[in-house]
Amino acid sequence: MNKAKAKERIEELNRLTKYYAEKYYDDDAPEISDFEYDMLMLELKNLEKEFPEFISKDSLTQKVGGTVKEGFAKVEHKVPLQSLQDIFSFEELETFGARMQKIASENKKELKYVVETKIDGLSVALEYKDGKFVRGATRGNGTVGEDKVFLKY
């Protein structure tokens, strides 16, 4: 793909992923499947890797895709809540495993895995003080989420 076509496709993918993310995260009305969205994001990531001069700071490859909704108290996360890394092939899984093994070896730690089927849903940060639940906040945009007071018991 030449640079002009790549720039055009990256701009189109940025528009599409932002639109579909808004429908999913903000409107709670997804219009495409998670797989279809993931494939758009994967194409965008690959094109940005090949043509880094066209990466926009507003690209969803550069930030978490949610927004903070009105009507809830805002919570600033002490540690940013990021998205999970998607893996779509055995090669990507092997690369991930090798990277984790290297980190574990460098830190003289044993590597163990727990693998579960992905269940899409709300990402939350649960806070406890002295063993008691004090707050449940959504991921929001990764830096600021919403205090979901209805979670308090």
Give catalytic residues, as residue numbers.
Answer: 118
Is 73 in a helix, a strand, or coil? strand
Bridge partners (DSSP) of residue 147 are: 73, 137
Are 151 and 77 contacting, i.e. CB atoms less than 8 angstroms apart? no
Contacts of 83 (CB under 8 A, 6+ apart): 64, 65, 142
Q: Cα dist. 143→18, 78, 133, 140 in Å?
A: 18, 8, 21, 7
Pair 105, 47: CB distance under 8 Å: no
Query: What is the Cα–Cα distance from 10 to 48, expressed in whole angstroms?
Result: 7
**Residue 63 to residue 17: CA distance in whole angstroms:** 12
